[in-house]
Structure 1
Amino acid sequence: MSTATAVPTAEVEGVRDRADVRRQIKLVVVFAIALLLLVVFRLTTDSFQVTYLLGESRSATVKPRELDGTVPWVIALVLTALALGLAALNRYPRKAPGVLLSVLVGLLFYVSFMVWAYADQSGSFQAAISNPIPGTVRIATPLVLGALAGVVCERAGVINIAIEGQFLSGAFLASVFSSFAYASLPFIPVGACAAFGLLGGAIAGVLIAALLALFALRYQVNQVVLGVVLVAFASGLTGFLLGQIPDDQKSTFNNPLRLEQIEIPGLSSIPIVGDALFNQTLLVYLTYAAVALVAFLLYQTRWGLRVRSVGEHPSAADTVGIRVNAVRWQAVLLGGVLAGLGGAYYTVGSTGAFDKDVSAGTGFIALAAVIMGRWNPVGAALAAVFFGFMRNLETQLGLVDRIPGDLLGAIPYLATVIAVAGFVGRVRPPAADGVPFVKS
């Protein structure tokens, strides 16, 4: 009797894993483009002298400082060339060292890019490069909450296209709750009226989530079509209800108080990042906690194990006594709370009064963050922060005329598409995502 001996693929000379080849090609292309752009920055700029702010805007305590952009540009050029060489030789480090090198190259490229964009300004007004972190946090807050809602739902096997609808309904009901509490409920402290709006946002998100769960789980409607319908329903309903508010009642129903900033002593004094991260509203702090909470629930609790099991193999989960649709209902409703809070940001968290379609399609960006983050709560949150950073970059670049305005508006979306298609590549969603479960 003979025994066949298997030769491990890794030991066969000249054989490389396809994923490793794709990784090398992506790294070479990215670093080569970055190196080329760095050279273009230098050749198209007369002087790299710019001004910058450690804060978000000028004030009595925040004044512009001078910066010679040549130094960071040289360092960026050297590091990018080094990274390109390592990638070309297939010696680019993996894990923590590779991530650290990529982050350094990215940060220095960003600084060089901003120096190029703000250099050689003409006219009496000289714009200064401002700290991008405060704007990024503001823009990313609802996106992170929406992305977490998508992760929870899809981990349970329910596709949540309706995040945009939950944003709109959450924004509207948050405005109504906060306005009504301030105008008609004197027993609620004035400072708590804005926080009362968060309750309204969560309720609205749960209501839309309940419709999603009802039709997707009870009546087994196609979940993609259902999500689109719910977005249209929320947009039309909130627009209709807004139009029904008489002018003399707007102060009662659409004049909410906005959340006040809460400074955390000690942490808020950290240079550059402290004031941006730790002098924020209650909703931003809830967002920080939500990322940790969702990650803990999904990966460290029995309930999270059940959620992931019904999203991967509902039939197997059913055989061990797990009520599949009940767990899916719970996950969808929890996602509704998160997305509703994200919608509340657009009224009590930022602008105040509700306007029609105030979320402007950001719910679909949150859905893209779910995919970009590979259905992981931390990854999805980081992807949402990335998009918030790109949106803030669009605002900053609008102060100078280096890049055409039409292209500026497309930058966040182009960056998202490139990141999803180029760096995330092929991803595998939960196996039963969008597949109805019928108990046999």
Structure 2
Amino acid sequence: MSALAPTASNPGALPLGTVKERHLKVPVVLALATVLLAALFFFAPRDGISTFRLGDASSAIALPNVELPTATTSWLLVVLLLALTAWAAWDAWSYRRPPLWLVIVFAVLGVFAFLVWAAAGGLVPVTGLLFGAISLSVPLVFGALGGVIGERVGVVNVAIEGQLLLGAFSAALLSSVTGNPFIGLIGAMIGGVLVAFVLAAFAIKYLVDQVIVGVVLNVLVTGLTGFLYGALLVPNENELNQPVRFTRLEIPLLSDIPIIGPVLFNQTFLVYLMYITVAVVAWGLYRTRWGLRLRAVGEHPQAADTVGIKVNMSRFWNVSLAGAIAGVGGAYFTLVSVPQFGKEMTAGLGFIALAAVIFGRWDPIRAALAALLFGFATNLQNLLTVLGTPIPSEFMLMLPYVVTIIAVAGFAGQIRGPAAAGKPYIKG
């Protein structure tokens, strides 16, 4: 619908030719989610009491458990979800984009409603659920940050999976040999850089399609680490595949905060490093000369070249930096999560990290939040299995990937990435 030209009596009107757009995707997705939840509660009703444990054994402040009637609470939450959906639909119909806070509140209430239904007659350890979500998100956050840097500088980093996997292998090997997890962490960064180096060489120097190179590298690293695992680590397991892992570091006072204290401030070194890395990358990308040049190269390399920025050299070094950051994510698998390296242990998380980049709209903080969402979905899958919900176990295994598809297709929409991402630059 075209707006009228601005006049003295109507100064707020849009210029002639401006077309208003109704943003219907968000209300449609919210309506679909509400209908699915309502159908679940109707066709698979559960009764009883849902108990939520807010306290933690290590907490200085004891909090009582919260007990809620399952059926009543579930349907009350559905009513709230309907109200939020109607609000989003009204905004869309009025040519306004539904606010981000509304989507966040809807997501929190939707997850809470599902947990109330799933926990009928059982107990949900809230602190444990959130703690596990943070821990499982660590490799996704580091992988997503590597993806953001790579694409912002103009190189699509499909090889995140390979960087995570080689990082995990290198960390396990060096930590086992030296008995020092920090040496293993450095090895993981080197492993990520090696994969990124090959990606940069073929994509930037030899102008090979970046997506194809990334896919091939993932397959190559999977085969290489699988071969080295069988030929090197299995026969020498005690010497080469028993890494010394990072232990938890409790921050005094902060770790005593109810609920969030044990979740955020009783973690391992890699989790604290994740906090710092997200903040530094977000600040550097928008507040420093490095970030300005990086974004210029990814958006308009010709213009960057005319002001003296060496486009391909900038891409090469920033892709290498992205590989080092992703490699840190790989170190989580063998220096925190699992006490030894295993074949294909990353299990496709590099691709979920790439989805987090898109869902987060190539922004470090948003991508990190998207990675936290996917980590929460993974941990929720484990909790639902323990609670014994009537949902088939096969669907439980699908849950993190279903959440990924819904997030990218339902909320990311047709968003525009960096203009020069995936496009090789030929000077002149």
Per-residue CA shift, 1:82-136, capped at 9, x if unaligned?
Answer: 32333343389999994444433332332221121121x5xxxxx4212221111
Q: TM-score, with normalisation over the residues of structure 2?
A: 0.88
- Give the aligned residue type for 2:362: W
Per-residue CA shift, 1:290-327, capped at 9, x if unaligned?
Answer: 11111111111111111111111111111111111111
Structure 2 residue aligned with 1:409? 397
Distance of 2:172 and 2:244 partners within structure 1:
8
Distance of 1:58 and 1:150 partners within structure 2:
36
**1:422 has 2:410 as partner:** yes
Distance of 1:297 and 1:208 partners within structure 2:
24
1:307 to 294, 297, 308: 294
Native 8 Å contact 1:41 1:116 kept in 2: yes
- Give the aligned residue type for 2:238: S
Structure 2 residue aligned with 1:7? 5
Distance of 1:240 and 1:55 partners within structure 2:
46
Distance of 1:262 and 1:359 partners within structure 2:
25
Distance of 2:63 and 2:26 partners within structure 1:
41
- Give the aligned residue type for 1:410: M
Shift of 1:245: 2.0
2:198 to 211, 224, 232: 211
Distance of 1:212 and 1:304 partners within structure 2:
21
2:20 to 17, 20, 24: 17
Distance of 1:381 and 1:92 partners within structure 2:
31
Distance of 2:56 and 2:328 partners within structure 1:
25
Per-residue CA shift, 1:137-158, capped at 9, x if unaligned?
Answer: 1111000000000000110001
Native 8 Å contact 1:72 1:112 kept in 2: yes
Where does structure 2 lack aligned partners over 5 or more consecutive residues? 7-11
Native 8 Å contact 2:55 2:64 kept in 1: no
Cα distance change, pair 324–11 in 1 and its aligned pair in 2 (3 A): closer
Where does structure 1 lack aligned partners over 5 or more consecutive residues? 122-126, 183-192
**1:357 has 2:352 as partner:** no
Shift of 1:79: 2.7
Shift of 1:243: 1.7
Native 8 Å contact 1:56 1:134 kept in 2: no
1:257 to 219, 244, 256: 244
Q: TM-score, with normalisation over the residues of structure 1?
A: 0.86
Shift of 1:26: 2.8
Distance of 2:314 and 2:211 partners within structure 1:
20
Native 8 Å contact 1:28 1:87 kept in 2: no
Shift of 1:352: 1.6
Native 8 Å contact 1:53 1:62 kept in 2: no
Distance of 1:226 and 1:204 partners within structure 2:
17
Cα distance change, pair 56–210 in 1 and its aligned pair in 2 (3 A): farther
Structure 1 residue aligned with 2:124? 129
- Give the aligned residue type for 2:20: D
Structure 1 residue aligned with 2:104? 103
Q: How many residues align?
A: 415
- Give the aligned residue type for 1:7: A
Structure 2 residue aligned with 1:224? 211
Cα distance change, pair 94–290 in 1 and its aligned pair in 2 (3 A): farther
Shift of 1:57: 9.0
Native 8 Å contact 2:181 2:244 kept in 1: yes
The root-mean-square deviation of aligned C-alpha atoms, in Å, is 3.0
Distance of 1:95 and 1:174 partners within structure 2:
49
- Give the aligned residue type for 1:413: Y
Identity %: 45
Alignment of 1:18-417 (within 5 A): 18=21, 21-23=22-24, 26-31=26-31, 33-34=33-34, 37-38=37-38, 41=41, 44-45=44-45, 47-54=47-54, 65=65, 67-69=67-69, 72-73=73-74, 75-90=76-91, 98-119=99-120, 121=121, 127-131=122-126, 132-182=129-179, 193-245=180-232, 249-399=236-386, 400-417=388-405
Q: Bigger shift: 43-52 or 151-160?
A: 43-52
